[in-house]
Structure 1
């Protein structure tokens, strides 16, 4: 728990094959997975420049922590591409969810972390930003605005994981 940002709410993994990754987690009993084959990020910027990023995203909870799998499907510049091009695959970021996005954004900037990529998903209350913190803690930090439809979906995913019996392990959103 961060005294300033709250609990880590999500562990993010960058993968080359999202279906394979979901099945590996399912084999460990984690699910159900909520899968978006064509996730749309609006107003996406990488290092301040606009780009159109295409990706697949899958979400599931393990207790209070959400697991996010991301497979970028185009070659737009992003932290995901940077991660893969460095020869890595797997755990890439932790995310803090916030209802006061602007304050969390400013807090991380005040700590000296630069925004590398940012955008929004699920409407204007779905902002997210990734900060360059690998040099300090070994992974990227993300803040994600928890409001509107994104909050409702995240709550639904968490509820679905409680007592999950293994049925319908992959559910398309």
Structure 2
């Protein structure tokens, strides 16, 4: 990919995605939020080792950028726990997401610049995403994913929901397959 890679999403690792989304909505007017519980993954390779990664995410619009709140439902190592260890009681900004043409090529490009792949995961529908560990230079991970039509449509739906929002409950549960 050539040129600038604009941030498409900022994400925070939190204890409870619904509480975090409600608090963010109350403070910043973001949302509404679409919560996907226990997002199914076909595979999750964390730092070279296949691992279980059960996570829940809330997605909403914050101005021109999507905001995500993510929690980990299972114990054990993960790219989230790389920054916020289990039992530490610490939570905060975890990653910024960018669209790339080829996830695997970008993993290699980031690795060549010293940002190892912290996670490469595939959802059941074949959608691939990865985290490049850019914490040494940026203080957070960088999420990489290709802009498939389904992803573009999801981003558009979240942005349109923000434009159409009329003050009802800001939390809506969705299901990812």
**Mapping of residues 112-151 of structure 1, within 5 Å:** 112-121=114-123, 123-124=125-126, 126-151=127-152
In 1, the alpha carbon distance for the partners of 2:124 and 2:166 equals 29
Corresponding residue of 1:155: 156
Mark the runs of 5 or more structure 1 residues left unpaired by the alignment. none
Residue 111 of structure 1: aligned partner? 113
How far off is 1:139 after superposition? 1.0
Q: 1:65 to 1:45 in 2, by over 3 A?
A: same
Offset of residue 166 of structure 1:
2.1
SS where residue 16 of structure 1 aligns? Answer: coil
SS, match of residue 61 in structure 1: strand
Structure 1 ranges of 4+ moved more than 4 A: none
Query: Is the 8 Å Cα contact of residues 7 and 96 (structure 2) preserved in structure 1?
Result: yes
**1:120 and 1:128 in contact (8 A); partners too:** yes
Which residue does the alignment assign to 1:19?
18
Q: Distance in 2 between matches of 1:48 and 1:5?
A: 29
Question: Under a length normalisation based on structure 1, what TM-score does the superposition of the two structures give?
Answer: 0.88
TM-score (norm 2): 0.87
Rounded Cα–Cα distance in structure 1 between residues aligned with 2:122 and 2:45: 10
Alignment RMSD, CA only? Answer: 2.0
